[in-house]
Amino acid sequence: MKLTNILKVAALAMPLFLTSCHTNKQVVKEAPVVSSEESMENAAILDKVTGNAQPAQFVTSKLKFSVEYGSQQMSLTGNLRMKRDDVIQMQLMAFGFVEAARLEFTKDYVLIIDRINKQYLKAPYNYVDFLRNSGINFYTLQALFWNELFKPGLQKVDKNALASYTTSIDGDDAIISLEQGKMNYSWLTNRQSGRIKMTNISYRDILKGNTQLNWDYLEFTKMGAKTFPNNMKVTLTTPEKELKLGIRLNYLGNESEWETRTKVSDKYHEVDVDQILRRFMAL
């Protein structure tokens, strides 16, 4: 996989979104035959997971964001703003007070703005083969940030959709799995709380090799009657490279008075993913 394609997947699959996948706990397992009693427990686990969904329409916070790609490392602060079923915005600051970049994910497109060099990228999700083939879209990214189950192609996982998942018990944990063609989606959850500890998305390709996205939830904080993940580690692993991302949230709130869409200035020029991310790494 070319460097440009790796960066496209990384940028559009939630930027600049586990420890090395060689050391991560493997959550992809073949679903065993279960008894009626086990089936009831599995259904109860799925109910717990879906019952943990954060009801707030808006989630906002201060952000500490880190990227590691090969020998390159970058750390920025900023702000995260999300509106359920509408938008995810990440404002990244350089030197603590200058907006260096803005990442905006809507239901229709991904927008990456480089403020320093006055350039931007705006593209639909099907711009990247991996995302198009796997059905990953805005709702997938939202579920990853909000610590929820997802099913490619659906806006929300309802009772009918839950029948598509298989669940197996592993000690104090439960592994929820979903397979679609070359794609495998797995969630490592706590049996008692139903809280998702890790999400794994893997794409199998015999000729080109496998690609894997892991999203680890390291810490949670109280938000209203529920909790919300405030420390996450993400790793994108391809046959050739590995991209690691760190996302730490502080001062979580539910502010609603902010612009949900960013207008790009006419003074900015459009570039490709490789160009804009290379600029970010030079900050």
* 27-67 per-position pLDDT tens digit: 444 545 555 777 888 899 999 999 999 999 999 999 999 98
Report the alpha-carbon distance of residue 210 to residue 232 in Å, rounded.
Answer: 23
The model's confidence at residue 150, banded by pLDDT at 50, 70 and 90, is very high
H-assigned helices in the chain: 3-12, 36-51, 129-134, 138-146, 159-162, 273-281
pLDDT at 281: 53
Q: Which two tokens stand for residue 280?
A: 């970010």
Q: Determine contact, residues 212/10, Cβ cutoff 8 Å.
A: no
pLDDT at 4: 38
Q: Give the 3-state secondary structure of residue 249.
A: strand
The model's confidence at residue 235, banded by pLDDT at 50, 70 and 90, is very high
Q: Give the 3-state secondary structure of residue 70.
A: coil
Mean pLDDT of the chain: 84
Average pLDDT, integer, range 171-192: 94
Q: What is the pLDDT of residues 73-107, one digit of tens each?
A: 888 899 999 999 999 999 999 877 889 889 999 99
pLDDT at 282: 57
pLDDT, greater one: 45 or 134: 45
Q: Which domain holds residue 42?
A: 3-281
pLDDT, greater one: 168 or 2: 168
pTM above threshold 0.85: no
Task: Examine the pLDDT at 274 and tell me if it is beyond 70.
Answer: no
pLDDT at 41: 84
Q: Which two tokens stand for residue 66?
A: 């880190």
Q: Which two tokens stand for residue 34?
A: 């279960």
pLDDT at 203: 87
Phi and psi of 110, rounded to 5°?
-115, 135
Task: Examine the pLDDT at 21 and tell me if it is beyond 60.
Answer: no
Q: Give the 3-state secondary structure of residue 147.
A: coil
Going by the DSSP 8-state scheme, the letter that residue 13 receives in this structure is T
Report the alpha-carbon distance of residue 201 to residue 212 in Å, rounded.
Answer: 6
Please report, in angstroms and rounded to a whole number, the separation of the first and last CA atoms in the chain. Answer: 26
pLDDT at 66: 92
Q: Which two tokens stand for residue 233?
A: 């580690």
Instruction: Name the helix (H) or strand (E) containing 236.
Output: strand 226-237
Give whichever of 113-117, 158-162, 240-244, 260-264 has the largest mean pLDDT. Answer: 260-264
pLDDT, greater one: 185 or 239: 185
CATH number, residue 203: 2.50.20.10
The model's confidence at residue 176, banded by pLDDT at 50, 70 and 90, is very high
Number of structural domains found in the chain: 1
pLDDT at 58: 98
The model's confidence at residue 133, banded by pLDDT at 50, 70 and 90, is low
pLDDT at 33: 55
Quote the strand ranges of 107-225, DSSP E.
110-114, 119-123, 166-170, 173-180, 183-190, 196-203, 211-223
Task: Examine the pLDDT at 127 and tell me if it is beyond 70.
Answer: yes
